[in-house]
Amino acid sequence: MKTKLISAILILLLLTACGTSQPAATDEAPPQDPPSPVPASPTSAPPTPTETPAPTTPPEPRLPADPQQIEFQAEDGTKLVGYYYPASVEPAPVIVLMHWAGGTHCDWVAVNLVQWAQNRGLPEGIAANSACENAELHTPDSPADFPPLPEGQSYAIFAFDYRGYGESEGSSNWDPDGYLKDSIAAVQTAQGLDGVDPARVAAIGASIGADGAIDACGAGCLGALSLSPGNYQGVKYADAVTTLGAENKPAWCVASTGDAEAFPTCESASGDNYQKFIYEENDHGMDLFDDGLDPKVTQVVFDFLQLVFGK
């Protein structure tokens, strides 16, 4: 009996020891929380590509390049005819061209001064004006060679016929007072043309027109270039130069030493705004556009316009 009791106690103690034993250690690490994500470092937004602006196209000129016939009157009522060549810009500076005795406005077209100054791609020679196709020209055999104008520079042109010449009324008899009236009327007409700046006028003339250019250069006219003047319109050239000089307006004179009238006329004038170009030749008026001269008269014309109207 006693032996059975001891055995039972031993069994009970053995079972108790088995129930409280610890589990065997393992090599597995205890689970851990997943690592927090590392925020991405901020970066600048990619630059927006810069768009290249499209080149601006200059607006089409409002007025066509083709010449327009203009009828006007001198102070004494004589009906005159001129041709207006619009510039490609507005309001445009305008050049009034005055021809020599025996010629017409077509002489300026024939030497290419009109097309060059307008700078709108018109053909050289008289093809630029149908009114000149059958004109008797008093010019060198071929168009003159002008320096290229800066891009975008364009002048309006008004070239007219003096009384008794071309399409204008009147007698071909020598009429200095009438020519002066025509010159003044031409400048005033040019200032009223559509698309023209009336305060930016220049005058260029040959022979009788050389005097007309400076004699008629009044209000709004900024300067005059005279090719072979000779006091042909009843006003002393030297006095007209002095008048323009008092207003700080340039007056330029071109002549050759063999010209018995133009050379002493150019020599008679002076002033701070006066320049003269004298050639050792015997050319007069439109004949000065001969390319054999140095400097070329075309260069003189170019320099004069750059001075008067600015570059």
232-281 pLDDT tens trace: 999 999 999 999 999 999 999 999 999 999 999 999 999 999 999 999 99
pLDDT digits 0-9 by tens, 125-144: 888 788 898 888 999 888 99
| 173-202: average pLDDT | 98
Phi-psi region of 18 (alpha: psi -120 to 50; beta: other; left: phi over 0): alpha
On whether the CB atoms of residues 252 and 175 are closer than 8 A, the answer is no
What phi and psi, each to the nearest 5 degrees, are found at residue 256?
A: -120, 155
| pLDDT more than 70, % of the chain | 81
Alpha helices (H) along 20-148: 106-110, 113-118
**Would you state the pLDDT for residue 45?**
52
Helices marked H in 37-92: none
- What structural domains does the chain harbor? 68-309 (3.40.50.1820)
DSSP structure class, residue 261: T
